[in-house]
Structure 1
């Protein structure tokens, strides 16, 4: 089976996990009502909490997590795969992971992925983030074998690291993902080109559910959840930052077709990088004499 209906749900998660779980449930039900058998939510679906003390109160271990339990119940009831784009999970060592969860139609967690690349940046207008101060980075890429696709995982900032998705594509992924809470500043500049580039260069579908709007903890995210085909065509997009659902029909045979036309995964070659220093006083080509 190569065809399925995919949905990305756009949210504006607040600081209260219970309210977020209720919104998540309503949107998942809407997506399933539109025929989706795979539903993805954004990064930090469970709660968007910037304050360190509040994070300690809001988050717990995976076995006690409200979002994980809600997703399991809905997946089982609706008979669909649910991909919680990520939620904060307390690890066995007490540190926090920014973790994606994939739930089967039986309600079982069949795959998890901890975000590898931490969003430690200093942007214009004084906007600064240090994700590594709150979360422990993951160390392993993940590809899940679904009945209708091979699914590669990423989360938000991971999308800027093409080597992650290339490794997943080489491992067989024909659908790759980067559910996100992109800042408005970076989203306006880079969101669309990054999503389309990862799809094109890997000959894979790209599905990225997003957070959108101004959140209770003060941050502002870009929205624009998106589904892109392996040729770079946008199949569905939320052209706003409001909560909602987008849906697209996916045929993974198109991934094989794209890779057949441009077999860059096969054509890649090993190479080394040399470093040279131009001699002092050496004339530059085109310089006036």
Structure 2
């Protein structure tokens, strides 16, 4: 593998191996294993693919995973009632609602129904507030995975300049909080750029690390990148490719082929941030188990 590539598969594999041993110990001590319920509404192909990957990873480490497949015509009240029943079930440690939901459903209202103690995606307002206050409980898995990747590079974030392109509640905002926090993996000077930012290039050319998470190909181009910097590409975009059996291939939000020539490190898509996201979700589910035991 190219020495410039940050291998998310390899890092996540190490994390999962440690988790498997930990879950074996949990099973011996508590006679059960951590459990996760994934709520999947409708038949979005990307969502189905992501959920399968999560289910497979759970099986690998020994986490009990149930996929609740719901029809896209389900009412908001029915989903909320189901989530509330999971909140009350002490055999369920964590739950996630796979996003995006069909347009007729209020994502925010549904996500906020999840108990903060079972919110392993870290999207409830209470958990985001705890992260902002410096006492995180559950951190969204993708930002957590990005932070872990950076730490594996032996890169000192303290005093460094990091630019995040994208301000979503799922990635950009929590990642900025993580990387600027008063911790050994934080203390960076973080700038968030977004769709209303002017002259993003001015900020990225000064950055030691650029994290791009917009969901649009070619958001980050070679002329926007400082030589020897580090690029973390969170984007996953499907583009048509008739040479592939399934008719498409995956690319990120950066011009990978051009940028790799000048940077010191870059994440591939696929095989970069994606595997780390799943590994961090597994860690969050295990953490939720311990919180439930304490309760």
TM-score for both structures, normalised by structure 1: 0.34
Bigger proportion of residues as helix? 2
Rg larger in 1 or in 2?
1
* TM-score, normalised via structure 2 length: 0.33
